[in-house]
Structure formats: structure tokens, C-alpha cells
Structure 1
Amino acid sequence: MLRDITTIVFDVLGTLVDEPGGLRIAIEEAGGSPRDADELLGVWQRHIEGEQRRIARGERDYVDSGILDREAATRVAQTAGITDAATIDRLATATKRLPAWPDSCEGVARLAARFHVLGLSNANPESLRALGEHAGLRWHGALSADAVEAYKPSPRVYRLAVEEAGGDPERVLMVAAHAWDLRGAGDAGMRTAYVPRPVGDPPAETDAFDGRFSTLAGLADALD
């Protein structure tokens, strides 16, 4: 049962906004062929995920998401034959313009009327602020993993959220479409709720999250 919750922490990329869909649009706007968009999106995603893993293993010094996005945009441009510098610059900031899922704005606003609502993201502070404004997310605040120079699922990132919420992890609910994210939050003592998205990481049979909801409205109903 989800009782005694005071703070709700949302994963942002993939849970509140359609990261792959928004990146695909940005790649096509930059000149990538629509028929190659999925391949180019894969180039972007593999670079980001691979470099975050290298940082986690200590194989690369920490750099923030803006640098990784710039590197990913450059790789996409090289693969697609895009050479215009201004176009590549804009592509590198695509994370700031990702679209919200249809139920995200209403769901966040409804929950924010009763709980302290925070975003928690691997995106750097500048990208996170711009994304929140672009997507229309009315949270009370957004925390960037950049503050602890680590990327989720590092325990340091979840501790950042717990500390911001007052220090009691059992009163903090992490909401995500990624099972790996919820496992990290659970290991930090946070309560966990899974909400599926078309691009998420579904739970395994062994995952015992505190709640599973088909929509954010369903989550809000359960917390009423």
C-alpha cells in the first residue's frame, strides 16, 4: 500500500516525455532521412548509454549530459552526412524540446496539488529547466544527477532526491517507466511505482515494486 507518501519523484526522460520520439523528430528536422531515422536514433542512444556506463565504471571522467548529447549529435551528423554547424548545434540541444506524453502534464499537476513533486533526471540542469518549460510540466522542482556527478542508477542520485525530500526514503515515491530505475530507487529505500510507456523498460517477474499503474491518473487515484 502506498501510504504516508509526502514526496513523489518522477523519472523524466521516457517516463514524462517521449525521449526517443522527440529525438527522432529532431534528427529528421536536421536532415536525417525518415527511412534512416531509427538507425540514427540508435547511434545516438548507443553513444549516450555506452558513455554513461563507461563513466560509471570509472573508465571516463564525469561529464554532464550536455557534452554527451553534443557527442551523440556529432556522431549522428557524421553518419547521416549532415555538415551544417548550426544544424548540428540545434540537434545537440534536442533534449530541451522533447514532447510530453499525453497524460503527463495533467497527471503531474494533479499530484502536485497534494504532494511535493520533483523530477529526477540524468539531464543537466540547463536541459532539465528548458525541457520542463517546453513540455509544460508543473512540478515543484527538478533535480539533475549532475549535482552529484553521477548518472542513474548510481545510489548517489537517489540519495540526492531523498535528501531534497527531507531524508526519509520510505515517504518518497519514485515513479518511472524503467524497471532498472525503480530497482535503483528501491535499493536506496524509496517506495516505487511502475507506469508503462511505449519506450520503457518493463519489469521482470521478480520485480516487487510497491505499485504498478497503467496511467498517471491511475496512480493519482490510488493516492487519493
Structure 2
Amino acid sequence: MALRDFKVLTFDVVGTLIDFEGGMLAYLRRAAPGHPVTDDAFLAAYRAARKQEGTGWYPDDLERCWHVVAQALGLPDSDALARGLRDSVADWPAFPDSVEALQQSAQLRAGKAGTDAPFVRGHRIELLSAAVEPLRPQLGEARFRRVLQALSLVYGTEVFLVLKDIWHLDAGEICEVARWTAQAILRQAQQDASQDAG
């Protein structure tokens, strides 16, 4: 099936292109100026609220979340403030590199790419390479590269999106799953390398 056969294409933008945490925190500071709640405490309470029974469609569910979070943290609470959080979505900022990445993607698909180097978000490859470098001699180049590719799936924001949004895990649980997965990848690679050597 060709892409032109589709009438509508959707993809997740909140947390991918849009800095929803930054947007919510900016609203918090406008709605409750001077309140001592920390950013981490507010976001943790928000995540807990999103895990509760009766969660609604986004962004309308932000109204319910405000009431829950306000009660838990002693924030000012009213229907107007709750609607304000929902409506603030329109003002949430894009991540700094989102526009550039989308523009370059559109140019590539249109066959009009310029001379700029292809856009690559972050430094995942370099960071993972440095972390796994001590195993390179044992693994060999091909397996080393495969390990980096596999680890790329559990290092970065994507793992948080999946495990938070689908499994409703908190940050500590997400880190434990990512750590366990990374250890399994490394153990398997070392086992394969030992079998090849033997």
C-alpha cells in the first residue's frame, strides 16, 4: 500500500514534538504563582492522576487531572483553573529541534533536500558507543553495531512514552525495565560472542 492511498496520517506529538511537561509547568506557575510545589512533585502527581480509573480523552482529561493534582498538592482549585490547564495545550511549545526536523523530513520526501547534513536528534549513537566501547574487542564490529542498535530502543524518550502511556509505569519502574532490557541485550551479545569464539 502506498502512502498516497491514505487519507489521514496521525502520529503522537505530545512528548515527541511538543514539550508537554514544559507547557504544563508554565501553566502551573501562572495559575499558582509563588506556590512552593516543585516541578518534579507536580509532574509526579499529574502522572498519578493519569493512571487513575476514569481517565478521559486527551486533552479534556487535563481538567480532571488539575482537580486531582490540586487536591493532592494544595494548589488553588476551581473549574476555571482546570479548564485553563486544558486550554493551555494550545500554547505548549515545540521542542527546539522539532520544526527543523519536520522541515528537513518534508524536503527529503519532496526530493528537495538541501546541502545541510541530515538532521539527527540527540547524540544517542555517540553516547551508547562510549558506554559499550570496553566490549568492542570481545564483540567484534558487527555485533558491537548490533548491540548499539538494540540499546537504542531502550535509551531515550521513546521508552518513557511507551512505558508511561501504555503501561502507566512511574519513572523508577521505567528505569528498572530499561536497565533490565539493556542488561539482557549485553548478556546475549556476550554469550553469542563466546559461542563464536569457542
TM-score (norm 2): 0.47
Q: Which has the higher contact order (CA 8 A, sep 6+)?
A: 1
TM-score (norm 1): 0.42
